[in-house]
Amino acid sequence: MRAALCIYVQGSRPHSLSHAEKSACSTATASVSASSERNAKGQERGEIRPDLAVNAIAKTYVLMEILPAFHFMYYKKFILHSLLPYSLVCDILAHITEIGGYHMTNAQIFIMVTMILYLCFVIVTGVLIGRRTKKSSEGFYLGGRGIGPIVTAMSAEASDMSSYLLMGVPGLAYLSGLADASWTAIGLSLGTYLNFLLVARRLRRYSERLDAITIPSFISRRFHEKTPVIMCISALIILIFFIPYVSSGLVAIGKLFNSLFGWNYMTAVIIGAVVIISYTTVGGFKAVATMDLIQSIIMTISLCVIVCFAIHHAGGWSAVVENAGALPGYLEFFKTYNPSTGTASPYGFITIVSTMAWGLGYFGMPHILVRFMAIRNENELKYSRRIAGVWVVISMGIAVLIGVIGYAVSCAGRIEFLEGNATENVIVKLASLLSSYGPLAAVIAGLTLAAILAATMSTADSQLLAAASAFSENLLQNVFGRKLSEKQNMLAARITVIVIACISIFLARNPDSNIFKIVSFAWAGFGATFGPAILFALFWKRCNRQGIIAGLIAGAVSIFVWKFGIRPLGGAWNIYELLPAFLVNSVFTVIVSLITPAPEKEVTDVFEEVNA
C-alpha cells in the first residue's frame, strides 16, 4: 500500500517531496517487485494484499491532482501522511494472518483495520481525558459535576442503548415483526422523556445538597441513615445485576468478531473487555461520558447508512412491505408473527402494558441517573431532555426498521435467512454485504460494525463505573468503615472494575446466549428495585427508611420469583417481570412507611428545602 501510493506521489511531484518523503518512497518502491508475485497469487484466492488495498484511495488522489480549479496540496499531504500509518496496520495484519494460515478477504481487512483504529482512538481519548480530570472521587465518578447538556443527553442515551439497540431490537423485529419490538421502543421512548422530566432536576439538586456522588449514597443520605443498611442493600443490588448486564455486552463483542472474522469467541470477548477496562479505569466518568457522546454519533450514522443500503438491496420500500406483509401478523401492532408455527398470535392489552413496562426501568438505572447528578447546571437539563427524547425516538425506530428490512433482504436472496438467536446478527450480515462493494464501502461497513462496539462499550463502561463506586465508595468505606484516601479510593474502584469485568467474561462464555433476554432481566432488576425507591425519595415526604428497605428487598426478590417461578406458567402470567416487581416494591414501600414512625424533622426539612 505504501509503495503504491509513494510511486504515484513521487512521479507526480518529484521536486516537491522532502528528503524524508523521498527516502520513504524509495524504500517502499523497492518492495513492489518483491510483493508483486504475492499480490497476484493473493488476488487469485480472493485475499487482500496491502499494496493493492490502496488502489481506490490512490485513484482519489489522482482525481484531486488533475482538477485544475482546486489546489489540494495540503489535503494531498494530509492524505499521504494519514494513509501511511493505515497501510502499516494493513501490513501487520496481513503478515500475522498469513503466518497463522488464515487468509482474509479485501472486505475483512478493511473492516478489521477500521475497527482496530477505532478501538485505539477510544483508548487514547480516554487516557488523554483522564489526565485532565479532577483527581478526586467526585471527579472520577461524576466528572466534577461539570458535564454540559449535550454530553449529558447523549451520554445518558448511549449508556442506555447497549448492544440490544443494534443487535437485540433488530433481531426481535426480524424474528416476529413490528409488535414486540415497536411496543418496547415506545415504552423506552416514554420512559426516557419522563425520566428527564420528573427525576433529573430534583435528583441533581438533592444529590448536591446531600453531597452524594452515587445512587446508593443518595438514597441512604436522603433518610439520614446512621447504620448504612440501605447503602449495603443498594450496593449489593448494583453488583448482582450489573455483572450479567456487562456480560451481555461482551457476548455481543464475541458474536461480532466470531461472525465476521471467524475469531475464537472467547478471545474476542477478552479483547473487548480489555479495551473497555483500559479507558474506564484511567479516565473515569468524564472519559466515559465524552466517549458516549462520540459513540452515540457513530451509532446514529451507522443505523441510517444500513437502513438506506438495506432498502436498496431489498428491492425498494414496496418490496420490503410486500415481503413482510406476506407473514401473518408481521406488520401489525396488535398481533405478532409466531415463527415456530408460521401463524399470527394475538398481542393483547396486558402484553402491550407488560412490554411498555420497559420504560419504568429508566427510573432505576444507576448508570443513567448519575448523568443527571453530573450536569453542571440543573437549568440545562431541559435542553438535554429535548435532545435525548428526539434521539431515542429516531434510533429506536430505525433499529426496528433494520429488522423488518433485513427480512426483506433475506427474501431477496442477498443474505441468508436467520433463525432463533442468529437473528441478532442481522445488522452484521447487512454490514458484511455492504463491505463487498469495494474499499470505501468496506470502511463504512467497518464503522457500522464499530457502532456495535460503541453501543456495547458505552453501556459497559458506565455500568463498570457504577459498580466500582458501589463497592469502593459505598460498601468498602460506608458499610465496612474502611477510611480511604482519595488515591486509595480510586485504586479500589479501578481494581473493582477489573474484577467485575473478569466475572462478566466468565458469564459470557456461552456464545449461544441471547443478548435481548440477558439485558431484559438486568433491566428489570434495576427498574424494580431502584425505580420506586428514587421516585418515593424525591416526591413523597412521608416515605421513611423502613419503607425503602422493605421495598428494595421485596422488589429484588419479586424479580427472581416472577422470572423463574411464575412467568414460565404462561398465559395471563406471561408478563415482563419488571411490571409486577415494580408494583410489589411500591406497595411494600407505602404500607411499611405508613405503619412505621414518620421520618425525623431534619429529614423532612431537607426535603422541603430542596423542593421549595
Q: pLDDT tens-digit profile of 165-202? A: 777 888 889 999 999 889 988 998 999 999 999 998 89
Q: What three-state secondary structure class fits 343?
A: strand
pLDDT in tens, 238-283: 888 878 877 877 887 887 777 777 778 888 888 878 877 765 655 5
List pLDDT tens digits, range 291-332: 667 777 777 777 788 888 889 888 899 999 999 889 999 999
Q: Quick one: average pLDDT of 207-212?
A: 85
The pLDDT score that the predictor gives to residue 377 is: 80
Residue 572 burial class via C-beta count within 10 angstroms: exposed 0-12, middle 13-18, buried 19 and up? exposed
Can you read off the three cell numbers belonging to residue 607? Answer: 426535603
Residue 357 C-alpha cell reads as 413496562
Q: Are the C-beta atoms of 126 and 287 separated by less than 8 Å?
A: yes
0.85 surpassed by pTM? no
Phi, psi of 327 (to 5 degrees): -95, 125
Is the per-residue pLDDT at 592 higher than 80? yes
In terms of pLDDT, which residue wins out, 324 or 460?
Answer: 324
Kindly report the average pLDDT of the chain as a whole number: 75
pLDDT at 251: 82
Q: Which three cell numbers stand for residue 526?
A: 434495576
Spatial separation of the C-alpha atoms in residues 33 and 39, rounded to whole Å: 10
Residues 6+ apart with CB under 8 A from 600: 224
Domains by residue range for the chain, with CATH: 2-104 (no CATH), 114-141+150-514 (1.20.1730.10)
- pLDDT above 80 (res 342): yes
Selection from 549, 612, 610 nearest residue 202 by Cα: 610
Confidence of residue 44 (pLDDT cuts 50, 70, 90): very low
pLDDT digit string, tens, across residues 21-40: 445 445 444 444 444 444 44
Rounded Cα distance, 83 and 95, in Å: 18
| pLDDT confidence tier of residue 20, bands split at 50, 70 and 90 | very low
User: How far is 17 from 242, CA to CA, in rounded Å?
Assistant: 55
* Interval 550-575: pLDDT, tens: 999 999 999 999 998 898 887 778 88
Report the distance separating Cα 164 and Cα 459, nearest Å: 10
pLDDT of residue 114: 79
Element (H, E) at 310: helix 265-314
Distances (CA, A) of 153 to 150, 246, 340, 459, 566: 5, 21, 40, 14, 37
